[in-house]
A and B are shown apart, each in its own frame.
Chain A
């Protein structure tokens, strides 16, 4: 039996200080080099142990490792998607006009971009404890009739959005480590500011692309 894939930390597509003043360089550095790296390290360890348990037919150990794999793999997936769906505020990609098809669908769904942002903000601020908020494209529905439907979803801890027919378009990290050094308990200000650094071009590509496309970058960075 071959050994499991070893995952490694993907490079940020911009500098640590590129999201200033909305997300501080110190936060980005710790978040990427420490938090994200720890998920990857723990994931690799759990997968290694899991591989041994597979080899020896130790089913109890295999099952007991599932929560650790889900949590750490989720942390790796979520952060990888998050870095990609952010960009410097002065980039043209930070304008929602970089996502014409997506914004059209957003307007059709929520009435206006402002109403969408308000609903998304409320969802983010309603998270109890650690978690994420995502804009999701759903590809399931009766007879495919609802294909391409958009929804706002919150997830707890590091639960990843990998279910059948759900495609993450963009996500916002609501763990305290994502904002605390800069905003402390003022998470509403963090959420308000995050809109300045959303990468709408990436969001458009995920909205129009296949699920495989969304996770492609994760695979290529093995």
Chain B
């Protein structure tokens, strides 16, 4: 999965309608949500990111964690659609944090899988072109960016993510951390994300998370990041 089209279509498949499945949803035969999010396939094997990320971690992370966000997002989407149908504003508001959390979990992981790659598929190869220039202009070098990024990752208190984002107003790039599953939406465009939840590294690195942050750069897919970056 290396083209922008395919990449965005993975997200769209996940987030938009797919009519045939919708007929099973709904309560008493009424369907409120036209389609369901689905777990996207990885474009590499679970073991393909070793030794940076173990196959066991990748398998649990994708098949269990990510899938739970997908299932829960579909569940709460259905509920919020039903609340909307009934004009139940209180219920809609009560469901917002759940949509943010589980929908965010789905978006974040989908982007994450895509911005990783095995070393024999370009993982760890430095960025080129406009993104490389933006990194050099902003941080001096790719190594300097990685160092600042790792400091940001280490500074996440609790669960969360660090992202290289692009400000849609100015076009400039910056590093931002997000709590829990808060997705990169609105003013900022996600370019590259690293998962700093403990489930992303604990089976392999335990409390030594700095080692995970150091190793993960060996499997970063900068080609994917380049395609997200807009000139």
A interface list, Cβ under 8 A from B: 30, 34-35, 38, 67, 71, 128-131, 156-158, 175-177, 180-181, 184-185
Q: B207 and A130: CB pair below 8 A?
A: no
Quick check: A34 and B158 within 8 Å, CB to CB?
no
How many residues of chain B get a CB closer than 8 Å to chain A's CBs?
20
Instruction: Give Cα A35–Cα B206 distance, bound, in whole angstroms.
Output: 10
Contact assessment for A177 and B207 in the assembled complex, using a CB-CB cutoff below 8 Å = yes
> Which residue from chain A places its CB closest to the CB of B199 in the assembled complex?
A176
Cα of A185 to Cα of B206 in the assembled complex, Å? 15
Which residue on B lies nearest to A70, using beta carbons? Answer: B157
Contacts of A181 in B (CB 8 A): 202-203, 206
Interface Cβ pair total, 8 Å cutoff: 55
Most chain A CB neighbours (cut-off 10 Å) among B68, B179, B197, B202: B202
The one of A38, A128, A185 in contact with B180, judged by C-beta atoms closer than 8 angstroms, is: A128
The answer to the question of B45 belonging to the interface, with a C-beta cut-off of 8 Å to chain A, is no
- B159 contacts A by Cβ under 8 Å: yes
Asked if A175 meets B198 with Cβ closer than 8 Å, knowing A71-B157, A128-B101, A185-B64, the reply is yes
B180: A residues at CB distance < 8 A: 128-129
| Chain B residues closer than 8 Å to A131, beta-carbon distance | 158
Q: Is B65 an interface residue (CB 8 A)?
A: yes
Inter-chain CA distance A201–B158, complex, in Å, is: 30
Q: A129–B202 contact, CB under 8 A?
A: no
In the assembled complex, 20 residue pairs joining A and B whose CB atoms fall closer than 8 Å, in A order, are A34-B207, A35-B207, A38-B207, A67-B157, A128-B101, A129-B158, A129-B159, A129-B160, A129-B197, A158-B158, A175-B198, A176-B159, A180-B199, A180-B202, A181-B203, A184-B60, A184-B64, A184-B199, A185-B64, A185-B199
> Known pairs A34-B207, A35-B207, A71-B157. 13 more at Cβ < 8 A?
A67-B157, A128-B97, A128-B180, A131-B158, A156-B158, A158-B157, A176-B197, A177-B206, A180-B198, A180-B199, A181-B206, A184-B203, A185-B65
Give the Cβ gap from B109 to chain A, nearest Cβ, in Å.
Answer: 13
Is B77 part of the binding interface, using a Cβ–Cβ cutoff of 8 Å?
no
Nearest-neighbor residue (CB-CB) of A185 within chain B: B64
Asked whether any CB of chain A lies closer than 8 Å to the CB of B177, the reply is no
Residue from B65, B68, B179, B206 in contact with A129 in the complex, judged by beta carbons closer than 8 Å: B179
Most chain A C-beta atoms within 10 Å of own C-beta, residue among B157, B160, B203: B157
For residue B221, CB closer than 8 A to chain A, the reply is no
Task: Report if B110 contacts A (CB, 8 A).
Answer: no
- Inter-chain contacts of A35 with B (CB < 8 A): 207
Complex Cα spacing A156 to B157, Å: 10
Q: Which residues of A contact B197 (CB under 8 A)?
A: 129, 176
- Which of A34, A157, A175 meets B206, CB within 8 Å? A34
A129-B180, A184-B60 in contact; A30/B159 too (CB < 8 A)? no
B166 within 8 A of A: no
Q: How far is the CA of A92 from the CA of B113 in the complex (A)?
A: 49
Is A177's CB under 8 angstroms from B60's CB?
A: no
Residues of B within 8 A of A128 (CB): 97, 101, 180-181
Interface residues of B in 172-191 (CB under 8 A from A): 179-181
